[in-house]
Chains A and B, each alone.
Chain A
Amino acid sequence: MDTSSPTQKKKPNELTSTLTTDYISGFDLISIEGYRQDGRKPDELRHFRVSFNVVSDADGSCYMEHGNCKLLATIYGPYEGESRSNQEQAVITCDFSMTSYCVSERRLRTFGDMKSQKLQMAIQRVFQQAVNTETYPKSQIDIHLKILQSDGNDYCPCVNATTLAFINAGIPMKDFVCSSTVGYIQNKCIIDLNQQEEQQKSPQLTLTLMPQRNDIVALTCESRVHHDIYNDMLDAATSANLQLFHLMKQAVINQLKTALHV
């Protein structure tokens, strides 16, 4: 949780304030009528749009918009790997970067920091499991992810876009991989957090799932959550992922239909 006690001291008012209703001040993330700040209900996803084949040089590519998040995922490969590559199965590498303008405050260095590296590692690991890598021994597959505009969590849209890019590249996978966040705010689970909701210091959970096999690929939860609410959050995350899966599947089918002129 937050440990910003030095900044607290600068504001003596906060400690001495006697306003009796302080703790309900500020805004509710979920209004009493049950709507979130952006007009969604707790169990609704953000706007979701995909287009395929946006980079013709790549073997597979996908441009995705999820809420305010916009990103480009491209797949290169499989191609013959370097000598150190695995003899048994394909090696997946991931390169994640952000544009300097993708968050509200411009940053100069947008690659190679801790956060990107962790994210790269996580995505590599997820797809190492999800892709049928043994189909391509001694080869390598590269994932390139570029965030054009960020809206809170980057990991989930990256996973989803990568899945679609893999499908676009025609690389066999065990299942779709979907990823989604769930937050627990005002005693309710809300799915698919946007940036504003994510900034709240409330319990959050990120679930990466293979929906048709019902396998959990990855699960992260960085805040302290009591087991009583943990199961609720997990259920909400699963249903969010299923919603997402249907959208992704629909996108793939639509793409196929246009490609085949059906």
Chain B
Amino acid sequence: MIDDTRRLNSFLRKTRRGHVLKITHELYLRTDIPCGSNACQQCTIDESTLLDKHMNNGNSLVSTGHYLLVDTNVVLQQVDLLEDPLFTNVIVPQIVLDEVRHKSLAIYKRIRSVISIPERKFFVFINEFNKNTFVLRKPGESPNDRNDRAIRKISQFYNEHLKQQIPIVLLTDDIANRDLARQEGLLAFSLKEYVTTFNRPELLDRLVLKEESFDLEKDIGKRKEIIFPEHVPLSEVQRGIKSGRYLQGTFQASRENYLEANVFVQDSEKYNQLFVQGYRNLNRAVHDDIVAVEVLQEQEWATPFSLVIDDKDDDQGDLVIEQEETGLVVPGVSSKKTASCRIVAIIKRNWRQYCGILQESLPGAKFHLFLPHERRIPKIRIESRQAEELKNSRVMVQIDHWPRLSRYPQGHFIKTLGKLGDKETENEVILAENDILHHEFPEAVLDCLPKLPWTITAEDLATRVDLREFCIVSIDPPGCTDIDDALHCRTLENGNYECGVHIADVTHFVRPNTALDLEARERGTTVYLTDRRIDMLPVLLSGNLCSLRGGEERFAFSVRWEMTPDAKIVQTQFHKSIIKSKSAMTYEQAQTIKDDSGINDEIAQSLRRLHSIAAQLRKRRMDKGALVLESSEVRFQLDTETHDPLSVMNKELRETNWLVEEFMLLANISVAEKIYELFPDCACLRKHPAPPISNFDPLVKAADTKGFQIKANTGKELADSLDQAILSAHPYFNTMLRMLATRCMMQAVYFCSGFESDMKNFEHYGLATPIYTHFTSPIRRYSDVLVHRLLAAGINADATFPDLLNKRVLQQICNNLNYRHRMAQYAARASVDLHTHLFFKNMHTDEDGYVFGVRKNALQILLPRYGLETTLFLRDKEGKSVGEFNEEEATQTINNMTIHMFDPVTVQISVDTNNVQRQRIQIHLVKPFIDGFSVSPIIKNKTTLEDIDDTITTPVKRLKVKSSK
């Protein structure tokens, strides 16, 4: 019920054109807003009434049952602590949520997820619309003070409303607010005061240290100098950016040298990328921050130190600064100066939680240094009382702030991930560092799943085409449980073929805007690690109801083409269907059936027809200039019990692999054309932009050393010249060139067609097709779910929903998907690296490889057997660098022995365990033998694959997304 109290809230706003608008919003104050307490006699009690009548958490500060009321600053800074199950019966005022949302969306999401758990008893109190708690901003009062007053008012209201039965404890870290509250006779504590009484040290560790405590430290007498220049205030930054004095950009710290970074500048015609060097210039920026920079005078420009620098963990914290800095601004090897800048302000911090270990410090020390796993993040100073216990564990830490006095940012401990070096722990680190969402699916998501046993209803039959009699088969890697595609091909009466691709109908189960849908949208993709799969959809769908298993009736979304025997499409149709796969085959099985002329059943014939069509499609695609690119794809054979890697094998490609691939490409292209035709403004497509010619420089240069000319003006030229670059004496050479070519490519991305004005930009360079999308794997990619919905709505097979045609929402989803895909790839790669390390851990072996890159102080060595690329540092035993680098010819000469690009070498592999955090593969040169540099070969030799052939292989499906796909 709306009370008749109505307030108007007027304010002035300046538009972009400079007009001043007066905007008036109404506000209706209500008297029917519940207080959420079960002890209340006035408000209606329902399932949203959360707060207990009797509550006790053992706090000695307030011994009786009480409710906690949190202030904005507590939520913003201490959300880690609030997530602890200790905190229950908490009143979260609406004004606090609004403020948190405004300041940090990430924290808002976290507190919201706590609120959504009923057991936690976090109650959202709507204070702004409540007549009893509404406060009007007084003249001259700042919005902040007004909000503080509003929060105190809530405390007062509850006290009166509950007739003083249950005390309200206001938790605030704002001293002024706390004092005022106490003056008004309210109970108020800082979070630290409240938490200290629980006698749980790990809670205190998670408490965020506040800036003030460091000022205190200074007062005590530990004299500290100001290290960093002050940041310019934000208002001035905005003015500076407008006038062109400052530039805005994303800060990307260097992986190799922690005193160097690049800033990728937005909206500047002059500079794309600016270089930053030295502590003062870096000025407390952390990787991924949005910063404001000032370009330095040309004479102050610095030279990047383009050496691969080994990180050393021997610096002593805050003590060494000046010498280091002056020592580092030494001209590097090449004397090329780069446009440089200094950071003047941080516009937006993009801090997340970091994994790493604690650096050993003096026993009993209160502060410790944390070494992040990610090299681009500086060390973090944290306060911990449990350093002893955490000595050999991976921990997670959050940065809180970075004062000018401190060499390192200050942070706080969040949680332990597990023992260092443990595979489980390391997996956890990979997932956390790559921002992979891998929590269990929440209740709300599981509630959206259909109930078993699942049956096909008459209604389903009426709306779908019945293809159960068709000879449909699926071909997948061995052990695959999420089968999302199946195929068929039959002859028609007129002599044409009818081919069909049938994709699991995921959108039948995943309805838009349900919890399940939002979860999948957030995850974006299924992540394949070497020994683990993190599903996008719960396993009931991904492994059962949506998986097109052999012999079971399943819903599918079908694309059917009528084709002439020479693979010309006569017509295409799209519809939803019911299928019953005749057989779920592996690539190997399918290949055998196809090749065995003795088998002539329906499946074999169908496979042969599919193969003949696919071959023609493939040829046509190659003629158009599609690229065949290489990337080393390896598969580990894992121990069935421990999941430790036993051996490595390169992935084998059969004809049936590309048979399936061709049809998937065709389906994707057909669907892309259709949805673009249906929804030109909001089709979800995938583009792969042509790389700028300069990207190919390394490839052209490398091929040139062997006398081949690579042309890369168009995709077709590139494909042709790659085809011709074959050395008969060096069969692996062509593969290596293709691997190099892969690295020249741009990232393929999803986008919304409404944001691209020109159809030319839709092009998929790698596949040489003007339009492309993803339709064929809705079980493991959310983009395909979007495409399914668009297509279904377009052909009237499914209901629409408002967001379907909202291109802004679509583009935002696409951005997330691109990010998640990239992260999934990084995680997969990191997982392979981890297993490679485990594999070589107890092995000391010689291996053949090729020189794959020549750097100033190192050689990149590629080991084809393991698909492994490692760095061979050119240093002698004392650590001095050896070798003369010839940039023009890409050679290194060591003791008169010249090593060229692509030269075959033999190296000795071992694992360097000196750095516990980042163990790495270490290699030494064996052949060609160079005196004083190489090591002697090991006699006992190579493990053989045959030994372990009988172990079961864990499938690593499409481990590395080939860039051609």
Interface residues of A (CB under 8 A from B): 1, 3, 5, 8-9, 12-25, 27, 31-33, 35, 37-40, 44, 46-47, 67-68, 104-105, 184, 187, 194, 196, 201-203, 224, 226, 228-229
Contacts and interface: CB of A to CB of B under 8 A. Distances in A.
A202 B809 CA distance: 12
Contacts of B809: 23
Given A17-B815, A18-B818, A196 B6 contact: no
B685 to A, nearest CB: 14
Given A104-B22, A104-B23, A226-B800, A33 B2 contact: no
A39 B23 contact: no
Contact of B21 (A1, A9, A24, A104): A104
B112 interface: yes
Given A18-B815, A202-B802, 16 more contacts: A8-B755, A18-B819, A21-B109, A23-B812, A23-B816, A32-B112, A35-B126, A39-B29, A39-B30, A44-B28, A46-B26, A47-B4, A47-B26, A68-B8, A68-B26, A196-B25
B741 interface: no
Nearest to A1: B805
12 contacts: A13-B266, A15-B751, A19-B105, A20-B816, A21-B106, A23-B809, A39-B28, A47-B2, A47-B6, A47-B26, A104-B22, A187-B802
Interface in B242-281: 266-267
A104 B805 CA distance: 30
Nearest to B13: A104
Given A68-B26, A104-B21, A224-B805, A39 B128 contact: yes
A22 B812 contact: yes
Contacts of B820: 20
Contacts, number: 104
Interface in B624-682: 681
A261 B818 CA distance: 72
Contacts of B807: 1
B566 to A, nearest CB: 41
A87 to B, nearest CB: 48
B112 A19 contact: no
A37 B800 CA distance: 27
Contacts of B25: 37-38, 196
A203 B28 contact: no
B15, B23, B816 — most chain A CB neighbours (10 Å): B816
Interface in B1-57: 2, 4, 6, 8, 15, 19, 21-30
A145 B522 CA distance: 50
B23, B105, B267, B681 — most chain A CB neighbours (10 Å): B105
Contacts of A35: 126, 129
Interface of B: 2, 4, 6, 8, 15, 19, 21-30, 94, 101, 105-106, 109, 112, 124, 126, 128-129, 266-267, 435, 513, 522, 681, 751, 754-755, 757, 799-802, 805-807, 809, 811-813, 815-816, 818-820
B647 to A, nearest CB: 37
Nearest to B112: A32
A22 B755 CA distance: 16
Contacts of A14: 811
B875 to A, nearest CB: 38
A187 B813 CA distance: 18
Contacts of A201: 806
A44 B799 contact: no
A63 to B, nearest CB: 17
A44 B813 CA distance: 33
Contacts of B812: 22-23
A134 to B, nearest CB: 41
Contact of B513 (A18, A32, A187): A187
B4, B26, B105, B267 — most chain A CB neighbours (10 Å): B26
A228 B22 contact: no
Nearest 3 A/B pairs, CB to CB? A39-B129, A23-B812, A39-B28
B802 A228 contact: no
Contacts of B112: 32
Contacts of B21: 104-105
A45 to B, nearest CB: 9
Contact of B105 (A15, A25, A40, A105): A25
Contacts of A19: 105, 815
B2 A5 contact: no
A100 B15 CA distance: 18
A110 B435 CA distance: 54
Contacts of A12: 266-267
Contacts of A40: 2, 28
A147 B112 CA distance: 42
